[in-house]
Amino acid sequence: MIIQIKGDTNFTINIDPGVWIFDERRFPIEPNSLGMALRPFLLNAEPKEDVHTALIHRRDGEKISLSYEEILDSYLCFAIDGKPLSEKQGGPALLYLRNQDHDQPIDSIQTIEMISS
């Protein structure tokens, strides 16, 4: 399962959270869960200077709008008990915002679309 970052960017980025288990940038977020900051991947896509919104496209067709600042400060939970998240668990990753209730992450993410004016 891949998450694509696209839209008003210089590059379209495909990220595979399933391989992050070996990435040194991962960090523990709860007992037996692992996370990864989303910021480096967003910046690697090189968003246009006037990007102000990130539109999250979920598998069920729902779209969730976040500010660019919110998504820059977010992170993805990609593994529980050392195993990648399955589709049944809301995988490939769960998106958590910095000041969000941890009981309600954004799940089933397919695409993060950057939107400018």
pLDDT tens per residue across all 117 residues of the chain: 899 999 999 999 999 988 888 899 999 987 789 999 999 999 999 999 999 999 999 999 999 999 999 999 999 999 998 899 999 999 999 999 987 767 789 999 999 999 998
Query: What is this structure's pTM?
Result: 0.92
SS (H, E, C) the chain: CCEEEEECECCCEEECHHHHHHCCCCEEEECCEEEEECHHHHHHCCECCCEEEEEEEECCCCEEEEEHHHHHCCEEEEEECCEECCCCCCCCCEEECCCCCCCCCECCEEEEEEEEC
